[in-house]
Amino acid sequence: MKIKQIGATVVVAAASVLLLAACGSTKDSDSGSSSKGNLATNQTVNWMESSQLPSMDSSKATDQISFNMMNNTNEGLYRLGKDNKVEAGMATKTTTSKDGKTWTFTLRKGAKWSNGAEVTANDFVYGWRRTVNPKTAGQYSYIYSGIKNADAIVDGKKAVNSLGVKADGKYKLVVTLEKNIPYFKLLMGFVPFFPQNQQFVEKEGKTYGTKASAVLYNGPYTLKGWTGTNDSWSLVKNNKYWDKKNVTLKKLNDQVVADSNTALNQFQSGKLDAATLTGQQVKNMLSNKSMKVRPMARLAYLEFNQKDKKVGKAFQNKKIRQAISYALQRKQMVKNVLADGSIAAPGFVTKDLAKNPKTGADFTKDADSDGVGISYDKAKAQKLMKEGLKEVGLKKLTFTLMADNTPQEKNAAEYIQSQIQKVLPQVKVENLNLPYKTRLQRSAAGNFQAVITLWGADYSDPSTDLNIMTKDNPQNNGSWTNKAFNNYMDKANDASADQTQQRWDNMVKAEKELMKDQGVVPLFQTSQPQMMNSKVKGIIYNTAGTPFNFKNMYVAK
Amino acid sequence: MARYLGKRIFYLVLTLFIVTTLTFFLMKLMPGTPLTNQEKLSPSQIHLIYKQYGLDKPVWLQYIEYLINATHGDFGTSFQFSDQPVSYLISSRIGASIQLGVQAMVLGVIVGIVIGAFGAVKRNTWMDSATTIISILGISIPSFVLAVVLQYFIGLKLGWFPIADWGGFSYTVLPTLALAMAPLAESARFVRTEMVDVLSSDYIELARAKGMSKTGVIYHHALRNSLIPLVTIIGPVAVNIMTGSMVIENIFSIPGIGNQFVQSVLTNDYPTIMGLTIVYCFMLTVVLLLTDIVYGIIDPRIRITENRG
């Protein structure tokens, strides 16, 4: 986090330092194996989830709890480590064709499923085909887009076995792409691309993935005690895992604690080693040394509907959009209004999502141009609004701000309303808070004037965010278009595998253009505040995709 | 009696049918879809997934199919928990809810009777005022506030009972207390009023005049007669416990169906919402039926009027 705001008060600065400390400490979790001299005798951790575990079927799961559990009990071609670095998984060697469209993975010999069967290339072919099969009705099949024929199969237009994946013997997997996917390696560590043992899945039939005994495991842990509907289960070290010598933890007990007050009480009594907090609690616990604020790759931003009949013309004016952005004091909003661990938006791409392939700098650092598009400046806001309104021939501007009816979005919308009306007297904002699903429907149908949108990244690459704002993207609800931006994104999306640096630079330029033109107004990045026992170490947390990797977790003395 | 029972059972089935129908169509009016990834799917993908779940058919057809399956005990599979039959989802979680509900009901009603009777006997003393205060507090403090207070002081600070979770009798103590408070207050108030009435009636005077001891009169005549009307409040108390359990289960992390119900509404998990609504409705109508039957047995006047009518 960078303190860009020159006029920041001492209080704000102090809070930011505090947040910085909290954010920074999430990274101190070193990768286990190095410091095993001081291990506790009891290698057990008591963890919690805020809702139930719905599925252990990698073709069907859609939620983070399922993804977390599968990520720790199973393994794809790669495992995603710290900062989403690709680590060895089922694949030992990867070769790419010159045009980047054919990938050949050599699989690890002797990797075993928990029933003793060997993990082979066919398990990947079978699992992948099952995921894209429309009959499976999986909701993550869209992420296969770019693999040969995937889109057509998902849409029911081509046969499942035409998918661009085939097994060349037991240990060779060949994947054919329609176009170059620069972040393809990251996807290979993502749960929807995990292997499935055909014989086992077919034997289980409808019950596959619905209870602990109806799943096979090839990852660091196996799942025990999950009946499919109960509220507690555990992860137990998998003695058949190929890298078991690097797994120190014996057991992780997991329990559903839906109420975060209860979770905090359980944590304070020592029953839990970790507790996820929400809302007001966070404000009270922010100074506690056990608190870890884990930023998520989830951004709240303001979208303007440029096609709206009444106010669309005003929103097409860049100065009006900029004026609204300059009127907002984001740091004050996250600290005093939201107070739930959220951080002020660092841009359109979230913090801690992706790092510069060469320098290792965070994307938000590279793309920042002195806070353009995300900072507060009252004088500028007022000047721009005056000029903007004059340009479109208006005296006043009244618009409806649509948002979810969750406490967070409601608070944000109310803050935005009061702040805009305070700074810009010509503007009147009316608030409309709707249930999430209704809001989503209206956003997609273009039935809004301005809306607070929340977007979560699927994988650790800036394109997962930036592509939304390209022309004709279905998620570009406000219909903002910008030639230069589209141009940079086209270049980035067409870059070949060895052009990672050019691709990065193009995405940085695209982000800068988006901010300069104020295509959207970034508001805040959400986070998952968690109380953590300081003795539990080696947790790998990533902001996008699957949050937790427990492989190197251990309990220190 | 058989005719009376037959009639009541017919009404029970009719109620279930009406509730099922209403819930089904109201639920279909709820905004949104059961898809979690809706914003990231293309319209044709959404259509294919709908087809897989049978959601592309007209609503009336879905309704008829649902009814036919439901009469066979098949409530479909959950959307949220992929491939999990709703009947299993409910049957594996209902035990905890029933145990908690029954414990709270029994504890609440028994303690309520004792407190209420005590208040009536010691009428207009400080003890009577104390029982009144207890019942007013019990009715006005929501169970979830009491739950949080119990959890913090008895669970965390004193450590007498587990803070939350499920696994043995000690885990049920705090949630039972939180849930029992409302029925306790309700029945205490009711018993006190009834008993004050009864205590001043002629037959009590007579019994005392015959030379019966005070405790004997209270136990044999006064208390027994005041308890008959208590049966009528069992229905409302059961409703109270069922709705209260949704919050209490959440606070104490109890693997029951109350928790599940809230979750299924939030995720538009149609089959689970339907299944749980039917189960709740069934439990409530059965409790009402039982109270009617019990009332008929202990109070002959009801039976007689029914037969004449």
- Could you read off the pLDDT of A255-306 as tens digits, one per residue? 999 888 999 999 999 999 999 998 778 888 888 899 998 999 999 999 999 9
Residue B30: inside a domain, yes or no? no
* Interface contact A156-B48, CB threshold 8 A: yes
Count Cβ atoms within 10 A of the Cβ of residue A116 and give its class: 0-12 exposed, 13-18 middle, 19 or more buried: exposed
**Are B155 and A265 inside 8 Å of each other by CB?**
yes
At B92, list the tokens: 């594996």
Asked whether residue B175 is assigned to any structural domain, the reply reads yes
A60 to chain B, any CB pair closer than 8 A? The answer is yes
What angle do the packed helices B230-251 and B173-199 form, to 10 degrees? 160
Q: What is the pLDDT of residue A4?
A: 35
> Nearest Cβ partner of A258 from B39, B89, B253?
B253
User: Is the CB of residue A272 less than 8 Å away from at least one CB of chain B?
Assistant: no
Chain B touched by A447 (CB under 8 Å): no
**Is B226 a member of any domain?**
yes
CB-based contact (8 Å) between A433 and chain B? no
Q: Mean pLDDT of all residues in chain A?
A: 89
pTM value? 0.86
pLDDT at A27: 39
The length of chain A, given as a count of residues: 557
Nearest-Cα distance to chain B for A230, in Å, is 6
In this structure, of A67-81, A313-327, B231-245, the range with the lowest mean pLDDT score is: B231-245
Class of the CATH domain delimited by A14-256+533-555: alpha beta
A140: which chain B residues are within 8 Å (Cβ-Cβ)? 37
Asked if residue B290 is part of any domain, the answer here is: no
Q: What is the ipTM of this complex?
A: 0.83
Which chain B residue's Cα is nearest to A54?
B81
Angstrom distance (rounded) from CA B33 to CA B45:
13
Residue range(s) defining the domain that contains residue B119: 92-268
CA distance B179 to B103: 9
Query: What CATH number does the domain containing B204 carry?
Result: 1.10.3720.10
What is the band of A24 on the pLDDT scale with cuts at 50, 70, 90? very low
Residue A16, pLDDT above cutoff 50: no
**B88 has a chain A CB within 8 A of its CB:** yes
User: CATH classification of A296-526 is 3.10.105.10, yes or no?
Assistant: yes
Q: Which residue of B has its CA nearest to A458?
A: B40
Chain B: residue whose CA lies nearest to A65: B81
How far apart (Å, rounded) are the C-alpha atoms in residues A363 and A353?
7
Q: Is the CB of B163 less than 8 angstroms away from the CB of A262?
A: yes
Which chain B residue has the Cα nearest residue A254?
B165
Nearest to A278 by CA among A408, A367, A370: A408
* Cβ–Cβ below 8 Å for B84 and A228: yes
Q: Map out the domains of chain A as residue ranges.
A: 14-256+533-555, 296-526
Per-residue pLDDT tens digits for A118-131: 999 999 999 999 99
Asked if A259 and B263 come within 8 Å (Cβ–Cβ), the reply is no
- Enter the tokens of residue A41: 């005798």
Alpha carbon distance B44, B59 (integer Å): 20
- On whether residue B138 sits in a domain, the answer given is yes
Distance from CA of B37 to the nearest CA of A (A): 6
Q: How many domains does chain B have?
A: 1
**Which residues in chain B show pLDDT less than 50?**
308-309
Put simply, the chain A residues between 18 and 37 with a CB less than 8 A from any chain B CB are none
Q: Which residue has the tokens 């409040």?
A: B233
- Cα separation, A490 vs A510, in Å, equals 10
List, for residues A34-68, the tens digit of each pLDDT value: 455 789 999 999 999 988 899 999 999 888 899 99
Question: Cβ contacts (< 8 Å) between A457 and chain B: which residues?
Answer: none
Any domain includes B162: yes
CA of A377: how far to CAs of A142, A322, A428, in Å? 41, 10, 19
Number of Cβ pairs closer than 8 Å across A and B? Answer: 135
A-chain residues near B170 (CB < 8 A): none
Give yes or no for B150 touching A (CB within 8 A). Answer: no
Does B31 map to a domain?
A: no
Q: For residues A502 and B135, what is the distance between their CA atoms, to the nearest angstrom? A: 74
CB contact B124 to A (< 8 Å): no
